[in-house]
Amino acid sequence: MKIWVIRRGDILIPENPSDSEKIQKLPEGKPVEVTVRVPRSLPMSRFYWAVLDAVIEHMPDVNPHGVPNLFGTSKDLNEAIKLTCGYAKRVLNFDGTVMMVPRSISFDKEKGMDQIEFAEFFEKAMQAISEHVLGYDVDKIIHEVLRGGRYPFDLDVAGVKVRIEPRGRYRWRVTKKLKGICDLAGIIGDDFSDVVSIAKAIEARCAKENRQEGG
pLDDT along the chain (215 residues), means of 10: 74 76 80 69 80 90 92 93 92 89 76 79 93 89 66 75 73 85 86 79 83 65
pLDDT confidence of residue 170 = 54
Give phi and psi for 117, each to the nearest 5.
-65, -40
> Could you give the residue ranges of the DSSP H alpha helices within the chain?
17-24, 42-58, 74-84, 115-129, 139-147, 195-213
* Residues forming a β-bridge with 96: none
Residue 118 and residue 104: Cα distance in Å, rounded?
A: 11
Contact 156, 175 (CB under 8 A): no
**DSSP label at 113?**
-
The per-residue pLDDT for 128 is: 95
Give ranges for CATH 1.10.3790 in the chain. 38-150
pLDDT at res. 68: 93
- 144, 146, 148, 151 alpha-carbon torsion, rounded to 10°: 160
Tens digit of each residue's pLDDT (9 = 90 or more) over 4-63: 777 777 787 877 777 777 778 788 887 777 766 666 667 778 888 888 988 998 899 999
CB atoms within 10 A of CB 113: 23
pLDDT at 30: 77
Give the span between the Cα atoms of 162 and 155, in whole angstroms: 5
Q: Would you identify the CATH topology of the domain 38-150?
A: NinB fold (1.10.3790)
Structural contact between residues 206 and 160, judged by C-beta atoms closer than 8 angstroms? yes
Q: CA-CA distance, 107 to 90, in Å (whole number)?
A: 22
**pTM for the whole thing?**
0.56
pLDDT value at position 34? 76
